[in-house]
Structure 1
Amino acid sequence: MADLLTDFQFNEFRKIIYDSSGITFSETNRSILDSRMKERLRLKGMTDVQEYYKLITSDQNEFKTFLDSITTNLTRFFRNQPHFDALINYVIPHVIELKKTTGDRKIRIWSAGCSTGEEPYTIAMLLKDKLPAPYTFEITASDISLKSLMVGQQGFYPESRITGIPQNYLAAYFTKTESGYQAKPDLMKTIKFDYHNLRFDMGARNFDVVFCRNVLIYFDEAAQKATIDRFWTSMAKHSYLFIGHSESLFGMDTKFEFLKTPWACLYQKNEK
């Protein structure tokens, strides 16, 4: 099947995508952009690619919908279990020790690129189960996909999506319905879902833990470094960063320190 986009159009679209989000499309994944464009044009009842380009440059809502359509939202509950083992067995105890000296009893976590919410709900279940009193937590879950955020906000997952949740957690934190499982209000209220483009500063500060897994792979080196630097700014002086198991900060000019625990590798911020 012939490509929808000419070389000129492909370069136009990938530039506006990169400039606005940091997401990089190269010749190797050009077909993905092409197929998503065909679907978007079909849904809008349009046939002219150039007319659609004019639309997204003049209509911010349509541009957000377009970005939503080109992102990949692959996730599942308890994905990459060793990261969560490291969170509970290493990171949280160290964060608590630090907070004992400040009197701050709230642990702040950011799930960046949270997709449909499985990651922040996994973190919330673990902390509700394992976090000792009197400590509390709050999770900010952000994504560039409004459609995915709506799924997370609703907290409902069909039976096919809850694979991986231990039975005791499923019983404690979800309600079985005819068509799937609904997260209980006590779990849902620990998470704030919010639209955010990682191309820009989050604005929030003092996160103790940031999860940004399998997102940097969509960025080129410059966008990766800019994103990592923004994470540094948003994090507490002594805090922890989880990235995807296939991602690395090796060779990047960053202040984060590599940390190897018995469970998983991650990065830490230690600022005096």
Structure 2
Amino acid sequence: MSVLTDIEFGKFKDLIYKASGIHFTESNRTILESRIREKLRKSSFENVNEFYDLINRDEGELKLFLDSITTNLTRFFRNNAHYSAFEHHVIPDLIEYKRKTGNKVIRCWSAGCSTGEEPYTNAMVLKEFLPPDFKIEVVASDLSLKSLMTAQEGFYSDLKVKGIPPEYLAKYFIKATGGYKVKDEIKKLIAFDYHNLKFDSGKRNLDIVFCRNVLIYFDEAAQKNVIDRFWDAMSNHSYLFIGHSESLFGMKTSFEFIRTEWACLYGKNL
């Protein structure tokens, strides 16, 4: 039996969209209802309207609820084609450009970083392929505070590290009971931060943005707002990675479509 009436579903859907830009439709209604069912099971609420009233008036409770409805599927070196393009196209081009400008800092943002596998991967790859005189700054953000806490800890089970090439695992991780810990030399390159993509991050002059499998949760208007904010945040010679099932096709944007030998991505003023 459905947890929500159509009217209740509309109220929750509108509140979520207003707060985060995440768009629920009939096709993913069951996901929202299952999260609400779980919340009610663990609480003393008499009905869904009491829960709605709480998250509508309490920003902290709303954040916790938004945390619960996000899907945090990720892994190290997710989408090998992207990382081949990163290593063989993006990094060499940025090295050449940065040497010309005399600015040897590479700034990378992992937007929607989940439990941290992506930003740690990005930091390791940059560490591996950038010259030693370059500085690396990686910022990682997510809507889920729970995921960010896992990311900041930097501990991953034996199962979670299976996608990491052996040479990276040996070089950048320490074996621990039940899994591996990211070494401090990589952890210190990353700043984890709570951020809702509905709003301006305040970040500027970013050279690389990874925002993969996040836009699929937004409708067209919210997607356009996110992409416009990325444009504002990025430097005048920069790269954007989105999910392999996502596209800017048909969107009015100044980003340039780039087809490399390995994968497709987007660029700003290249």
Normalised-by-shorter TM-score class: over 0.9
| Cα offset, 1:44, TM superposition | 2.5
Matches within 5 A, 1:33-182: 33-182=32-181
| Count of equivalent residues | 270
Shift of 1:46: 2.1
In 2, the alpha carbon distance for the partners of 1:114 and 1:67 equals: 15
Give me the whole-angstrom Cα distance separating, in 2, the residues matched to 1:210 and 1:56.
31
| Matches of 1:239 and 1:126, distance apart in 2 | 17
Whole-Å Cα distance in 1 between the matches of residues 214 and 233 of structure 2? Answer: 17
Following superposition, the deviation at residue 101 of structure 1 comes to: 2.4
Match in the other structure for 1:190: 189
Could you tell me which amino acid in structure 2 is paired with residue 88 of structure 1?
A: E
The alignment partner of 2:137 has SS state of strand
After superposition, the CA RMSD in angstroms is: 1.0
TM-superposed deviation, 1:102: 2.0
After TM superposition, give the deviation of residue 62 of structure 1 in Å: 0.8
Q: How much does 1:59 deviate?
A: 1.3
Distance in 1 (CA, whole Å) between partners of 2:125 and 2:100 is: 24
- Please give the alpha-carbon distance, in whole angstroms, between the structure 2 residues aligned to 1:179 and 1:54: 42
Find the counterpart in structure 1 of residue 236 from structure 2: 237
1:7 aligns with 2:43: no
Unaligned runs of 5+ in 2: none
Counterparts of 1:206 and 1:158 in 2: how far apart (Å)?
A: 35
CA–CA distance in 1 between the matches of 2:97 and 2:176? 42
Say which SS state the counterpart of residue 44 (structure 1) adopts: coil
Whether the aligned pair in 1 keeps the contact of 2:95 and 2:130 (CA below 8 Å) is no
Distance, in Å, in 2 between the alignment partners of 1:15 and 1:25 is 9
- Measure the CA separation in 2 of the matches of 1:87 and 1:214: 17
Structure-1 separation of matches of 2:164 and 2:61: 36
TM-score by length of 2: 0.98
Give the CA deviation at 1:54. 0.9
Identity among equivalent positions (%) equals 61
Aligned partners of 1:44, 1:99: CA distance in 2, in Å? Answer: 54
Deviation larger for 262-271 or 219-228: 262-271
Indicate yes or no: 2:34 matched with 1:30: no
Gaps of 5+ in 1: none
* Letter matched to residue 95 of structure 1: L
